[in-house]
Amino acid sequence: MEYLASDKIAIVDLNTRDIIEDELDEDLVLDKIGGAGITKHLYDQHSAGNPIVLGTGLLTGTLVPGASLGIMTAKSPSTGKVSHVPLNLDAGMELKYSGFDYIVIKGSADKPVYLWIHDGILDINDAGDLWGKDTWAATDHIRDEMGDDLIQVLCIGQAGEKASDLAQIGINYWQSADRFGFGRLCGEKNLKLIAIRGMGLLEISEPEAFVEDCAELIAAIRSNNNTQKQGIAAVSAALGEEDLSDWLSPLTHRHMACFNTPVATNTFLFTDEDPALLEETTVTEPGFLFTDIFPLVVLKKAGLSAKDAGLVLKACAKYGIDGAAVAELSAKSGLTSPEEIEKTFPDLKGPVESTGKSVFSPWAAMGQDINANWERRQAVAYILGLHPIWLQMATDLTEKKLLDLAGLGTEMEFTPDTLDEVIGDILA
């Protein structure tokens, strides 16, 4: 695969520690396009090994507005269905530039390991030093050891290590959209974390035309009121969910966007520092980055202050437990103090309502029904590599436009019929 790809797939066997590398076949791309289309295909091919498949969308990492998405595909221990967790923030981008297009992780290791994916090299390393660490300590340890603060770390905490059904795999210090218990799956495989760093380059078949189209899109997006929102509260309101602005704004530091995503869907709250501070704070942990609307809405309704919500979700992120599940269960028990809530973590169990019912994470289904329209739009996001929340707001990014861009970028032709088929396979 010459364009918009590294042309490399790795099949990792954690039992034997063998790694097989292969090219990304153009016929596979013509047939399955990319992202969840290909990760699902690879899952099916290697299903005997109960694999976790990492991948990125066809357009991930390009100048297409919102092209930030990585994907983690596996059979959810909670639902039994082959499901997809969106890898946003900068993780999807880093995976795209890591030198690998897709990575299949089969089997289980006999003792704790981590994967270090860097510039086309995949190492399986001993994680003895990391097992038992919370996600913040583990992420810091990897970044310090490798001497690079920009390494993206998909990490489990103690919840995943104990194979809790509410365990989540996080992104660096933050909560991900894992509502499927992938954290438990990693723990069962003795896989503590996946560290990713890449300095790759993606060739473009028709660079000028492709970038011109992207420039037109961003101009349209900038002149559209709907795509001028910034921050998790504004996004929540725009999607028809509760407006969290008044509750969050007194402690809001800044809004942070996922890679190349025009609307910042994440908001950093300062719980232990003056949010008006512009200089770099001397406090080591001044606050928390909110990346998930649902737990915020639940915690707000339960009567927690924004500060306490920040402390609860930070504790969830460190322990590697799904904040949506914690919010739901704490609300049911009537707990409101962060300390009390944190004490429940080791014994907390599902089932919870917030578990993903579709194969796509409900993290992107705030304020809407999970119906056929929503699923289709999600499928397009996960195949082409667009941010699943952003794509719902970005009406200029039609299916036709995205398929045209895919063609301009790769010199291949992707038809609406192919897209329909790939979506059908993912939802089957």
Partner 1 sequence: MGIQIDALKCNACMACELACGYHRDDAFALLSSCIVPYRGREKKNYVGVILKEEDSLVAARPEGVEINRIGEEQDPEKEADASAKPMLLRESCDLCDEVDGGPLCITFCPTGAISMA
Q: Kindly tell me which of 22 and 148 has the beta carbon lying closer to partner 1.
A: 148
Q: Using CA atoms, how far apart are residues 78 and 80, in angstroms rounded to an integer?
A: 6
- In this chain, which stretch among 188-196, 214-222, 374-382, 416-424 interacts with partner 1, using CB under 8 A? 214-222
Site for partner 1 in 178-207 (CB under 8 A): 199-204, 207
x-or-dash string of contact with partner 1, 117-136, rule CB under 8 A: -------------------x
Residue 222 sits in the site that holds partner 1 (CB under 8 A): yes
- Smallest separation, CB 231 to partner 1 (Å): 9
Rounded CA gap, 428 and 420, in Å? Answer: 12
Report if residue 268 touches partner 1, rule: CB under 8 A.
Answer: yes
CA dihedral over 28, 79, 138, 233, signed as positive or negative? positive
Pick 75 or 253: Cβ nearer partner 1: 253
Where does this chain touch partner 1 (CB under 8 A) — which range of 145-153, 159-167, 295-303, 395-403? 145-153
Q: How many CA atoms lie within 13 A of 165 on its CB side?
A: 13
SS3 19: strand
Task: State in angstroms the smallest separation of the CB of 265 from partner 1.
Answer: 10
Member of 32, 253, 318, 377 binding partner 1 (CB under 8 A): 253
C-alpha span between 235 and 265 (Å, rounded): 6
386/378 Cα distance (integer angstroms): 9
Alpha-carbon span 230 to 161, nearest angstrom: 35
Say whether residue 223 binds partner 1 (CB under 8 A). Answer: no
Print burial letters for 336-354: b (CB count within 10 Å at least 16), e (below 16): bebeebbeebeebebebeb
Site for partner 1 (CB under 8 A): which residue of 46, 141, 254, 401? 254
Q: Which stretch binds partner 1 (CB under 8 A): 10-18, 78-86, 279-287, 416-424?
A: 279-287
Residue number, 181 or 287, with CB nearest to partner 1: 287
The residue from 30, 137, 211, 370 that contacts partner 1 (CB under 8 A) is: 211
What mask of x and - would describe binding to partner 1 in positions 72 to 111, judged by CB under 8 A?
------------------x--x---x--------------
8 Å CB contact between 298 and 324: yes
User: Tokens at residue 317, please?
Assistant: 């992120």
- Residue 358 touching partner 1 (CB under 8 A): no
- Of residues 368 through 407, those in contact with partner 1 by CB under 8 A are none
Q: What is the DSSP letter of 209?
A: H
Query: What CA–CA distance (Å, rounded) separates 240 from 231?
Result: 15
Q: 20 vs 283, which CB is nearer to partner 1? A: 283
Judge whether 203 and 1 are in contact, CB under 8 Å.
no
Binding residues for partner 1, total number by CB under 8 A? 53
Among 27, 280, 347, 369, binds partner 1 (CB under 8 A): 280
Q: Which of 214, 296, 380, 389 binds partner 1 (CB under 8 A)?
A: 214
The stretch near partner 1 (CB under 8 A) out of 73-81, 215-223, 328-336, 351-359 is: 215-223
Does 261 bind partner 1 (CB under 8 A)? Our answer is yes
Distance separating alpha carbons of residues 275 and 11, to the nearest angstrom: 45
Q: Is 259 in the site for partner 1 (CB under 8 A)?
A: yes
- Least Cα distance to 38 among 86, 71, 87, 81 occurs for 71
**What is the 3-class SS of 98-149, one letter each residue?**
CCCCEEEEECCCCCCEEEEEECCEEEEEECCCCCCCCHHHHHHHHHHHHCCC
DSSP 26-56: HHHHHHH-STHHHHHHHHHHTGGG--EEEEE
CB of 9 to partner 1, least distance (A): 20
Q: Which of 160, 287, 338, 385 binds partner 1 (CB under 8 A)?
A: 287
Q: Quick one: which segment of 70-78, 243-251, 272-280, 353-361 binds partner 1 (CB under 8 A)?
A: 272-280
Q: Quick count: other Cβ atoms within 10 Å of Cβ 272?
A: 17
Contact status, residue 106 vs residue 50, Cβ threshold 8 Å: yes
* Calpha distance 384→191 (Å, rounded): 28
Q: Does 170 bind partner 1 (CB under 8 A)?
A: no
Give me the residues paired with residue 102 across strands: 9, 55
Least spacing, CB of residue 203 vs partner 1, in Å: 5
Out of 84, 192, 255, 377, which residue is the one contacting partner 1 (CB under 8 A)? 255
Under the rule (CB under 8 A), what is the footprint of partner 1? 4, 61-63, 65, 90, 93, 97, 136, 148-150, 172-173, 199-204, 207, 211, 214-215, 218-219, 221-222, 230, 253-264, 268, 270, 278-281, 283-287, 289
